[in-house]
Amino acid sequence: SQTIHQWPATLVQPVGSPLSLECTVEGTSNPNLYWYRQAAGRGLQLLFYSVGIGQISSEVPQNLSASRPQDRQFILSSKKLLLSDSGFYLCAWSDSAMETQYFGPGTRLLVL
Amino acid sequence: LAKTTQPISMDSYEGQEVNITCSHNNIATNDYITWYQQFPSQGPRFIIQGYKTKVTNEVASLFIPADRKSSTLSLPRVSLSDTAVYYCLVAPSGGYQKVTFGIGTKLQVIP
């Protein structure tokens, strides 16, 4: 069966510090991968998606970037965090044929 | 992509059937309707997906009228553990990378 992992689960970072969140998927090949952010009490905002290694599409201009160095690895990064980057970050995958998205446990980021 | 409208919140007592309706007036011919459930501090979880008429699984039923301009998620005999946010999504096959989840419907189950 397929599983999706995210780490860390919780992160507290100072403003201006770098960020690296990692997401890995097991049990599938060539998945579509997604990064979402959810602010408190809000819906999910799609940040990036990827249909293959090195292929990244950005949905929202921001202080973040994403990379996909391996087929089942998706990384969300920032060089300098802003207060507004605080939120709940979710990684998801989908089978390119089925489209239903399966979400990871999420990372709660607090920028102080 | 079709825009969806659903109630912001609903309350229900334990043991009751809950129906959450989603409007999607400009749904396209090749759009599917998908519902997700999200508990606090967790990622959304797929519940059910359909194209037309009725779909049922072990968790819920999805009713879609002939014009497909709305859909209703039905949860039978809810329990406290069904308290969550429920999202309705409409998108074509191959189009889910553009989907916006919105704020969903917050269901509160009352003892």
Residues 6 or more apart in contact with residue B67 via CB below 8 angstroms = none
> Contact, B106 vs B8, CB < 8 A?
yes
Closest chain B C-alpha to A89 CA, distance in angstroms: 9
What is the per-residue burial (b if ≥16 Cβ within 10 Å, else e) of B1-34?
Answer: bbebebeeebebeeeeebebbbbbeebeeebbbb
Higher pLDDT, residue B3 or B43: B43
The answer on pLDDT for A65 being more than 90 is yes
Q: How far is CA B74 from CA B23, B37, B86, B93, B103, in A?
A: 15, 13, 11, 24, 19
Confidence of residue A97 (pLDDT cuts 50, 70, 90): low
CA distance A51 to A96: 8
Q: Which residues contact A42 (CB under 8 A, 6 or more apart)?
A: B103
The Cα of B96 is separated from the nearest Cα of chain A by a number of Å equal to 6
Buried residues in B78-110 as b, exposed as e (16+ CB within 10 A)? beeebbbbbbbbbbbeeebbebebbebbbbebe
The CA distance from A38 to A19, in Å, is: 17
Question: By 3-state DSSP, what share of chain B in percent is helix, strand and coil, each rounded to 5?
Answer: 5, 50, 45
Which residues in chain A have their CB less than 8 angstroms from residue B104's CB? Answer: 43
Which H or E element spans position B75?
strand B70-75
Q: What is the DSSP letter of A82?
A: -
**pLDDT the model gives residue A61:** 65
pLDDT at B96: 55
Instruction: Verify whether the Cβ–Cβ distance B34 to A100 is below 8 Å.
Output: yes
Which range, of A36-40, A54-58, B41-45, B94-98, averages the lowest pLDDT? B94-98
- Which pLDDT does position A73 carry in this prediction? 96
Peptide bond into A8 cis (omega under 30): yes
Average pLDDT over all residues of chain B: 91
CA atoms within a 13 Å half-sphere pointing along the CA-CB vector of B64: 23
Classify burial at A80, counting beta carbons within 10 Å of its beta carbon; exposed 0-12, middle 13-18, buried 19 or more.
exposed
Quick check: B40 contacting A, CB < 8 Å?
A: no
Q: Is A27 helix (H, G, I), strand (E, B) or coil?
A: coil
**How close B102 gets to chain A, by Cα (Å)?**
5
Span A17-27, pLDDT tens digits:
999 999 999 99
Give the mean pLDDT of B101-110: 92
Query: Is the predicted pLDDT of residue A98 greater than 60, yes or no?
Result: no
Residues B50-59: tens digit of each pLDDT: 999 999 999 9
